[in-house]
Structure 1
Amino acid sequence: MIGLVIVFAGPGVVGAIRNQFNLVGNTVNSGTTGGTEGGGASGGADSATVQAAIAKDAKDWTLDEQEAVAKDIAAKGEASPAYSKAKAVMDAGTIFSTKLTNGQTLAYRIVGINHDDLADGSGKAGLTFEATNDAMGRQRMNAELTNAGGWEKSELRGRLSSGDLWALLPSELQSKVKSVTKMTDNKGGGSAGTPSATTDKVFLLSTAEIYGDLQSDGSQYEYYKSKRVTTSNHYEASSSSEYHWTRSVDPNKSTSFYYVLDSGTLISYYGSANAFHLFPAFCF
């Protein structure tokens, strides 16, 4: 087709056409198409950010570096050059922090590595973080004294997912948080049910994710597993000196969710309309 155009066109047109095809050919050969350039730049930037994170004290990791490390671990697992450092950071309980929109500082640590399933089915979230202070204050689980519908139907879940508590997170952190699938007994009402899935960006840990000898509501996070936390060996189960909620209902009661005492003891004495501290979790 190109040859026919050149044969029947005049000399001036032929020159113009030849120049245009030379320009296109040079562009293709140089590999400067938009898609290729964008992908290469992104990969290089991610790699550089991971290397920068490995080279510095982890407590000084920026949100961008935390995200880059998480993505690299999600993609490469233990083969990631950042894996061993992230594990050491988790085992040491290194604290990160970010400023909330209410002016409070949220402290948090790594509790899981390649633990949570991404809600879109594409694999694992590289890192799971859990707050360690009460920057979000005391909050109730439900307005009414009930645990019917469990975590899935709770008022607190709605507030963390898209309401006023979600709005406390800075936009830079919000943009990095991954939606994950959480398994929880969402029946409530005084009897046990079969765990069912919810999709969450910000969530509370379940009893089983903290204590290794409980079987419902997911599996124990690596941080707590490394501390050998069980219901009888529970000192390391406490994230701070404050009582804080879990997302697990007490299946033997119609009004209560479990919460963790400052001693690490798991209890459900008070009902869901009472206010306890929040130590929310999220994934990159």
Structure 2
Amino acid sequence: MARRGGGLLTALAVVLSVAVLAIGAGLLYLVVTGGAPGAPLAQQQAAGLEHKSFSEYDWDELAQVAQMIAEAPSDEEGRAVADEWGVHVGDARPLALTDGNQAQLVVVGIRHDERADGSGVAGLTLMASPIARRPVNPSDTNEGGWEASELRAWLASDGRELLPERLADNLVEVTKLTNNVGVTSDAAAVTETSDALWAFSLTEVCGPVDLFATEYGDEVRARTYYQDYTLYDTLLSQEGTQYEYFADAGVSDQADGSGVLAQSYGSSPCAWWYRSAYPYTFNVGDAYFFYQVMDSGYPSTIGYASQSAGVVVGLCL
């Protein structure tokens, strides 16, 4: 006669066996992924990523590190992730361009830029030293600002093709704020564009701008026809916020004591473009200029839009 309870014991043994298998599978998952089943994808993928310095990562690996920084719950924790994976503001590495020229890539910000798709911040913002010498526009006009410029269109096409393929494939589009009118004192002229490559704005490099207050004074005076010139400073100062790299170097709109702005293209020093249009004109209809860094590294001057100057680009991973 069969013993009572045998079926129950068999069922219990099956349940225990399944539980053991499930626990084993879970442990294996943790080993493989480096985190809990609900861990962010970048954290899971990082299980096979070796810790290196900024200059040693390949482009796919650096994009993984940037994604982990972006997925951190706060800026403080994101910076801790960057430190853990050997990436710091000011780190630099060579950048070989597809046309045979050599540039330099520098970390200028961590969790500074907002992704254009609204999904949060980009992990890293990098600056590439001049990848070309080009005008902003084919004629001397800043009408339409950065948004309508030929330089912006070039960066989205031929300029992007100068980057290594895997770097270009990992770029993250971010939101940029710029005066996209040209000659104006109206703060409403500052609008958003979505860009994977961009020229820096004056205030992203120099911090809050007071160029017009310095030149014309900060009061409405008869010698300036009772015009409030500080409105132009306010306009320029709304084109983003200063990156940590430039702030740490003490860059302002009238000083670069650390010499971080001096750039060369090939072996020759060159001025380089900001995306900021010069917003004032003495004569109605004159809209000729964009801001530049001088070839000496002095942080603020203006150049005719049709002149060739260095194309220093920002990009995010």
Question: What's the TM-score once normalised by structure 2's chain length?
Answer: 0.70
SS state of the match for residue 147, structure 1?
coil
SS state of the match for residue 82, structure 1?
helix
Which 5+ residue runs of structure 2 have no aligned equivalent?
Answer: 1-17, 29-35, 210-236, 264-268, 282-286
Match of 2:222 in 1: none
Contact 2:254 2:300 in 1 (8 A): no
Find out whether 1:208 has 2:203 as its counterpart.
yes
Please list, as runs of the form range in 1=range in 2, the aligned pairs for 1:143-182 lying within 5 A after superposition: 143-161=138-156, 163-182=157-176
Please list, as runs of the form range in 1=range in 2, the aligned pairs for 1:185-196 lying within 5 A after superposition: 185-188=179-182, 190-193=183-186, 194=188, 195-196=190-191
| AA matched with 2:159 | L
Contact 2:293 2:301 in 1 (8 A): yes
Match of 2:77 in 1: 79
Find out whether 1:283 has 2:299 as its counterpart.
no
Compute the displacement of 1:48 (Å): 3.6
Take 1:263 and 1:223, find their aligned partners in 2: how far apart are those partners? 15
| AA matched with 1:71 | Q
Compute the displacement of 1:69 (Å): 1.8
Match of 2:10 in 1: none
Find out whether 1:64 has 2:60 as its counterpart.
yes
Contact 1:237 1:264 in 2 (8 A): no
Find out whether 1:263 has 2:262 as its counterpart.
no
Contact 1:94 1:109 in 2 (8 A): yes
Contact 2:126 2:314 in 1 (8 A): yes
Contact 1:185 1:192 in 2 (8 A): no
Contact 2:198 2:313 in 1 (8 A): yes
Take 1:177 and 1:255, find their aligned partners in 2: how far apart are those partners? 32
SS state of the match for residue 166, structure 2?
helix
CA offset digits 1:66-117 (Å, max 9, x no partner): 2122111111143244333679731xx3222232221222311011110100
Contact 2:206 2:299 in 1 (8 A): no
CA offset digits 1:227-267 (Å, max 9, x no partner): 22112332445142421000000101411100001232300
SS state of the match for residue 143, structure 1?
coil
Take 2:83 and 2:165, find their aligned partners in 1: how far apart are those partners? 29
Structure 1 residues 82 and 264: alpha-carbon distance in aligned structure 2, compared to 1, 3 A threshold: farther
Compute the displacement of 1:45 (Å): 2.8
| AA matched with 2:45 | A
Match of 1:140 in 2: 135
Aligned identity (percent) is 29
Match of 2:276 in 1: 248
Contact 1:183 1:218 in 2 (8 A): yes
Structure 1 residues 170 and 206: alpha-carbon distance in aligned structure 2, compared to 1, 3 A threshold: same
Q: Alignment RMSD, CA only?
A: 2.9
Which 5+ residue runs of structure 1 have no aligned equivalent?
Answer: 1-24
Structure 1 residues 256 and 218: alpha-carbon distance in aligned structure 2, compared to 1, 3 A threshold: same
| AA matched with 2:91 | T
Q: How many residues align?
A: 246
| AA matched with 1:147 | N
Compute the displacement of 1:41 (Å): 8.4
Q: Which segments of structure 1 move beyond 6 Å, counting only runs of 4 or more?
A: 39-42
SS state of the match for residue 210, structure 1?
helix
Take 2:68 and 2:309, find their aligned partners in 1: how far apart are those partners? 36
| AA matched with 2:106 | R
Compute the displacement of 1:175 (Å): 1.1
Q: State which of 93, 100, 118 in structure 1 corresponds to 2:115.
A: 118
